[in-house]
Amino acid sequence: MSIETALLPFSLNGKRAIVTGAASGIGKAAAQLFVESGARVLFADIDGDAAKIAADEVGADSAACDISDEQQVELLFSKAKTLFGGVDVLANVAAYRRKADTMAMPASEWDRMHEVTTKGTFLCMRQAIRIMREQPEGGSIVNVSSVSAQHPTIFSNMHYDSAKAGVDAMTRAAAIEFASDNIRVNSILPGGTASGGAAHMQSEFKISGPMTGKGRIALGRVSEPIEQARAILFLASPAASYITGHQLVVDGGYQVS
């Protein structure tokens, strides 16, 4: 067997994919890696202009979409159906990424966090499942959670930790409920990653908490977005054909250190 044949299952050759949050950071890295590995990809983001720039870099399609808005999500998936004829892979990467002081945050901040990060992920998953269950080959969904859903990382992030724990619960529930439709549902749990969103948070807040302690990240550094994107690609690809309901921690050893 040639190396190309052996590695084919690790690619998305011929697959049709939607990636949310594709304008920046992990989502952009994943969407571009999907294209490089042979998929047709629709880059989706609330920032439609930035999504278009990211998609143009690899000759892909893009769409503006606020994942917390059901109508916009429906339009996004019908655009993918029109462009590609179906959807084999959904990477749910978009999230609301703003820290907020636990004692002072207005309830509206809590609500927006869950509206985007939890409800938005649900709406996209549900729309993908509606399409995938009509396809004999089913499909694969990868949700991007966070290591902080399982273990606190930084302070002033309680609303985010809660929203991501919801994403993990939905990943497990959907994996069970739609396995008979040949739909796999997994998630990755990134640790600290040098993305646009993380840099923005750092400029707004002094970051403190357990993850910032000396020696807490065993590998001694945060990750690059491409290192998270590769984990998403693996779970999305046929190489992970017997993996569902799994939460893959990609945190440089933070949780075990």
Ligand X SMILES: NC(=O)c1ccc[n+]([C@@H]2O[C@H](COP(=O)([O-])OP(=O)(O)OC[C@H]3O[C@@H](n4cnc5c(N)ncnc54)[C@H](O)[C@@H]3O)[C@@H](O)[C@H]2O)c1
Q: Which residues are marked as active site?
A: 160
Asked if 89 is part of the footprint of ligand X (rule: CB under 6 A), the reply reads: no
Asked if 233 is part of the footprint of ligand X (rule: CB under 6 A), the reply reads: no
- Three-state secondary structure call for residue 189: strand
CB of 194 to ligand X, least distance (A): 7
Pull the structure tokens for residue 198. Answer: 């993380």
Nearest CB to ligand X, comparing residues 62 and 244:
62
- First and final CA of the chain: distance in angstroms? 40
Contacts with ligand X in 166-195 (CB under 6 A)?
190, 192-193, 195
Nearest to 88 by CA among 26, 30, 40, 56: 40
Asked if 197 is part of the footprint of ligand X (rule: CB under 6 A), the reply reads: yes
Which x/- pattern, by CB under 6 A, does the window 43-62 give for ligand X?
A: --xxx---------------
CB of 97 to ligand X, least distance (A): 5
Asked if 68 is part of the footprint of ligand X (rule: CB under 6 A), the reply reads: yes
Among 116, 125, 129, 154, binds ligand X (CB under 6 A): 116
CB of 146 to ligand X, least distance (A): 4
Asked if 94 is part of the footprint of ligand X (rule: CB under 6 A), the reply reads: yes
Cα of 16 vs its chain's centroid, Å? 16
How buried is residue 108: exposed, middle or buried, by Cβ count under 10 Å (0-12/13-18/19+)?
A: exposed
**DSSP count for the chain of H helices, then E strands:** 9, 7
Among 15, 16, 40, 97, binds ligand X (CB under 6 A): 97
* Amino acid present at 165: A
Residue whose entry in the numeric block shows the structure tokens 């990477």: 91
Residue whose entry in the numeric block shows the structure tokens 């993380």: 198
* Amino acid present at 147: V
- Three-state secondary structure call for residue 183: strand
- Three-state secondary structure call for residue 214: coil
The CA distance from 159 to 113, in Å, is 7
Using the rule CB under 6 A, give the single segment among 93-101, 133-141, 208-216, 237-245 that binds ligand X.
Answer: 93-101
Contacts with ligand X in 142-171 (CB under 6 A)?
144, 146
- Binding residues for ligand X, rule: CB under 6 A, are 20-21, 23-27, 45-47, 65-68, 93-97, 116, 120, 144, 146, 190, 192-193, 195-198, 225
